[in-house]
Structures are given as C-alpha cells and as structure tokens.
C-alpha cells in the first residue's frame, strides 16, 4: 500500500524538523513537502497533491485559518489538521478553523525544547489522526467487539426506559464535536426542562471558549463547569479541559463537581466518568446522547446508564466525522436509536417532553434530584 503523503506548514524551523522526523519514522507516512507559511504552502500543494495537510494556526504572511479557507475553495474533502498552541489566541483560532472546515486539530507539545518528549507526544496524538482521516486506521473494530459478551438491549428494557421521565441530558463527544454541538444545542428552547452536562474532549482554554461560543448561539445558557453549581433546567455545563465532570449531593440537592482524577480512555475529561455519576444520581431519568468522536470513551459509561434504566441515543455513521464513540455504543446494542445529527434534537425534545406540559417549563427547578 502506498505511503500516506503528508504536507505540513509551520513557521518554526525546529517544529517542522521535529514533525518531519517523527512522521517519517512511521513506515506508513512520508512528508512530501513543508512550508513556513500559508502562502508558500498553497503554491506547493497543487504540485505535490498530498493525502493530508497539517497547518500551524499562527503563521506570518498567511496564517493557518486563511490557508484553510483557500484550500476549502477547491478541495472540500482534503483532510486538514490544525496544529495549535495551548494559548487563548491559539484556541480561538482553532475553533474558527473547525467551523471553517478543518478535519480536526492537535495541540503542540508544551515543551518543544525536549525533543524526545515532543516526538513521543506527536506519535501518540497526531499519527493516529493522520491514519484515521486517510482511512489507514479504524474507528472501531467490530470483530474485536464481537469477542466480548454483547450487552444487548432487549425490547422490554427499551420499553421500560421510554416510560421513564427524563430528568437530565448527558452528552459526550470528541472529534467533530464542536460542530455537532453547534448544530444540536441551538435547537433546544430556553425553557428546556432539564439540566445538561457535556463532555467534549478538549484541553484547557478550548473548553471555556467553546462554552462561550455555544452560549452566544443558544437559547439555553451554556457555561464551562466549576464545582458547586446547582443543577437547573435550561442550563448546560461543559466539562473543563483536564478535569473530570461529575455530580455530588448536598442537602438533597445536586451540584456539579469538577476534579482531577486519573485519565480514562486516555481522556480527561472522560465521558465514562460523567455518565457513571449521572447514572448513579438519576438512574432511569438519564437521557444520554453520544455524538461523533474518535475512540471508545462513553462505552462503559453507557453500560452504566443502560444498567440504571436510562435512555441512549447515538449519532449515525454517515453524519459523524468519526464513528468511533457512537459506533462502539451502537455495536454493543446499547442505543435505542441511531440517528443522523439533524434528527437528534427533535428526538431529544420528544423524549424530554414526554409527560410534561409546555407552558410550565420556565418555572420548574431541578435543584432537588428526581
């Protein structure tokens, strides 16, 4: 099989060298060209015809966002991964790039001075995504999954779940998640009658900016979670980068809890952690939605939700950027519905509204758990 042809643009010579050496060490990848800015990159791309492009977010003359927009004018399907710094400016530009059609992003190693550590970080974070977006990797392995005892949802179990009144919405997502959330959450009304918890795999600063952008587009209130916030209907909390999100009870009321625990599925925040906490406190009153994402974070959490009698809806493969997280849950038989992204909001509203009177939504409080 031919090697994956990668082109990269970054204004720092040392970063280009580290990237080139690290990617070239993988037998499936070759770096076919580099550039110090977007202007030079665009001039080279037509001749080199790469399978995937890596763009530094901040570059002189033409930055990564401008370059991406030019690429998308003629090459809608060419995978483009943004290489972003862990700064507020870098986070904002990365979110803009995702909205403009970037396939995904990877944050730069914090300490580029430690070459071996930087190379290892690139191997672990960037190479899997390169293979994923060029179809050399798999999002999930149905054969491996079949070796495990399947946790199938029976018809009677699903019927029981659908009779439960939804008291909380829990959403988990990763790759492609910002756009998916941008599609789903603005469709929910201001008087949405239950609280919402969200885990989006993102580093610090990114999650805060994501919450602010969602809040500006939504009728519901969206904010980055901190500990000690009383659960209320019509409000959504996004797990902060590098912290898990859960719930704790005080005086018969439920509050958010963010904490630093061990990563799960190499993730912090982890969807599994959030879903276990939600299942513990809400049982059959939990509605879980798993959106597009790489890996299998959320599978074990959905098992906990299923065991507690909660409801699970996942995004379908055709509308997902990566059908890893929702794919694992669907393959395990845990989802009652597998739906295109544009149908999930109406399904959520249908389930949440069951047994509720629309005119009373705005006055209801969920300070006390049902």
Q: Active-site positions?
A: 174, 201, 297
Number of Cβ within a 10 Å radius of residue 240: 22
Which of these, 17, 9, 367, 2, lies nearest to 195 by C-alpha position?
367
Which tokens sit at 260? 């630093």
Q: In the Cβ-directed half-sphere of 152, how many Cα atoms lie within 13 Å?
A: 6
How far apart are alpha carbons 320 and 176 in whole angstroms?
Answer: 7
Looking up tokens 């599978």 gives 299
361: left (phi over 0), alpha (psi -120 to 50) or beta: alpha
**244-250 and 253-259 strand pairing:** antiparallel
Please enumerate in sequence order all residues whose Cβ is within 8 A of that of 347, keeping only pairs 6 or more positions apart, or say none: 313, 337, 339
Helix 88-99 with 177-184: angle, nearest 10 deg: 70
Which tokens sit at 320? 């997902």
């Amino acid at each position: 099989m031919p090697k994956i042809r990668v082109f990269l643009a970054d204004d720092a010579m040392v970063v280009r060298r580290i990237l080139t050496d690290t990617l070239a060490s993988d037998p499936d990848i070759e770096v076919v060209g580099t550039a110090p800015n977007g202007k030079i990159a665009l001039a080279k791309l037509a001749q080199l015809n790469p399978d995937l492009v890596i763009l530094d977010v901040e570059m002189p003359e033409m930055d990564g966002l401008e370059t991406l927009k030019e690429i998308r004018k003629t090459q809608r399907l060419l995978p483009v991964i943004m290489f972003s710094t862990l700064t507020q400016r870098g986070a904002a530009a990365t979110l803009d790039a995702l909205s403009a059609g970037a396939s995904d992003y990877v944050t730069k190693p914090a300490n580029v001075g430690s070459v071996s550590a930087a190379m290892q970080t690139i191997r672990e974070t960037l190479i899997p995504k390169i293979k994923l977006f060029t179809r050399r990797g798999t999002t999930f392995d149905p054969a491996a999954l079949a070796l495990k005892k399947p946790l199938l949802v029976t018809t009677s179990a699903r019927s029981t779940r659908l009779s439960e009144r939804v008291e909380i919405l829990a959403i988990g997502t990763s790759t492609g998640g910002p756009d998916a959330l941008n599609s789903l959450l603005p469709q929910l009304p201001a008087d949405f009658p239950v609280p919402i918890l969200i885990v989006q795999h993102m580093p610090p600063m990114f999650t805060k900016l994501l919450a602010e952008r969602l809040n500006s587009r939504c009728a519901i209130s969206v904010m980055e979670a901190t500990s000690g916030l009383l659960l209320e209907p019509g409000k959504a909390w996004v797990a902060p980068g590098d912290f898990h999100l859960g719930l704790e009870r005080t005086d018969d009321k439920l509050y958010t809890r963010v904490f630093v625990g061990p990563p799960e599925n190499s993730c912090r925040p982890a969807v599994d952690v959030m879903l276990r906490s939600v299942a513990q406190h809400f049982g059959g009153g939990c509605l879980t939605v798993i959106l597009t994402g790489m890996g299998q974070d959320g599978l074990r959490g959905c098992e906990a939700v299923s065991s507690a009698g909660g409801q699970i809806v996942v995004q379908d493969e055709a509308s997902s950027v990566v059908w890893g997280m929702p794919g694992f849950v669907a393959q395990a038989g845990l989802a009652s519905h597998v739906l295109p992204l544009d149908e999930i909001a109406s399904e959520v509203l249908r389930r949440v509204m069951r047994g509720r009177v629309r005119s009373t939504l705005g006055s209801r409080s969920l300070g006390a758990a049902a």
